[in-house]
Structure 1
Amino acid sequence: MESVRVQLSGRRVKAYGRIVAAATDSHPAFGASYDLVTDESGATKRLSLTVTLAERERQISMARDEENMWLIQDHLNQTKRSGFEGALDVDVIFSPFFNALPIRRTGLYEVAEAVVLPVVYVRMPDLSVSLEQTSYSSNEAGITLVSPVAETVVTVDEHGFILDYPGLAERI
């Protein structure tokens, strides 16, 4: 389950969200909270993410500068600086909200086209970060999304936010 409070100003997004995940064969139960800010184009500028498990809490902070370099500080206070091949978006596993960011930024909810984008990919609950490719292709049925963990067709509202992500979430 995910709950997000979103503030919009043009393509700029400020969001505060929470994710609650039950235990499965692939991961333990966990809770997560995040705070996100994009720039005026809708590209991710800053993300703070906290994951809480029964035995510990971990945090990660990410920021993208004017030269599109990412500075990532993990729960061990280790800092990594990388260009992530020009990635402008972050994708957090288990969150349909983060898939809306590149959809909104590229305008895929308004016109039919296809894009393949580099993304800074955050896996939960371990908060590992990697560069991944995600493709989006819009048509009358919705937006086909191919990520490292899913291939599905999502539907979006008139603002580009996810209404239905089959197998993961449905907006209520």
Structure 2
Amino acid sequence: MDTTIVARWQEWEGSGTQHLVLNAGRDGLSVDAVAISSDPHPFAVHYRIEIGTDWLTRRVEVALVGRKDELVLEADGAGHWTMNGRPVPALDGALEPDLSVSPFTNTLPVKRLRLAKGASAEIRTAYVYAPTLEVFPDPQRYTCLEEGRLYLYESLDSDFRREVAFDEHGLVTAYPGLFRRLL
């Protein structure tokens, strides 16, 4: 049975918002979203993500509203990526994207890893920074504090860490300092 979930987030501090539509079907999931940032230099991003039933990302499209350039990342599900059709060996081992403007991308490792309470996992993501659309590998750790509901996110190349709360669908409800769920 196909399912559609609509979610909306606001920046923790600021007026930026994000509207996301997640469609789940037999063949996997697709996400279509727009994020409007109140960064000191405001911008808006449209992105789409295609995800397999195994919660592995297959394709990510990111475009800045009002600009012609678009970033297209494709993954083989085994940790190999292409960017706009060219291999990106620097991303080898990454299984998920992490978009700087989106709390949704935290859902991907949480759903894929299915960690038990107290368990943790170190991962590598294909980090996409907006508004420049630069892509680079980003090492992270997730620790389950409450199964399906609360995880400690830690950046492994900085001192950034946050307890991130999720709803019953695995969507972020609170990411202190970054995002809060509105809908």
Alignment TM-score > 0.5, same fold: yes
Corresponding pairs, count: 161
Unaligned runs of 5+ residues in structure 2 are 1-16
Aligned partners of 2:26, 2:35: CA distance in 1, in Å? 26
Q: CA deviation at 1:67?
A: 5.1
Q: CA deviation at 1:151?
A: 1.3
Q: Percent identity?
A: 23
Q: CA deviation at 1:129?
A: 0.5
Cα RMSD (Å): 2.2
Aligned to 2:152: 144
Aligned to 2:3: none
Counterpart residue identity of residue 89, structure 1: E
Contact 1:69 1:83 in 2 (8 A): no
| C-alpha distance 23-68 of structure 1, shift in aligned 2 (>3 A) | closer
Aligned partners of 1:13, 1:84: CA distance in 2, in Å? 23
TM-score, reference length from structure 1: 0.84
Unaligned runs of 5+ residues in structure 1 are none
Aligned to 1:121: 127
Aligned partners of 1:44, 1:4: CA distance in 2, in Å? 17
Greater relative CO, 1 or 2 (CA 8 Å, sep 6+): 2
Alignment of 1:7-86 (within 5 A): 7-9=23-25, 12-24=28-40, 28-52=41-65, 56-65=67-76, 68-73=79-84, 79-82=86-89, 84-86=91-93
| C-alpha distance 42-32 of structure 1, shift in aligned 2 (>3 A) | same
| C-alpha distance 121-11 of structure 1, shift in aligned 2 (>3 A) | farther
Counterpart residue identity of residue 71, structure 2: I
2:50 partner SS = strand
Counterpart residue identity of residue 31, structure 2: A
1:134 aligns with 2:145: no
Aligned partners of 2:26, 2:167: CA distance in 1, in Å? 16
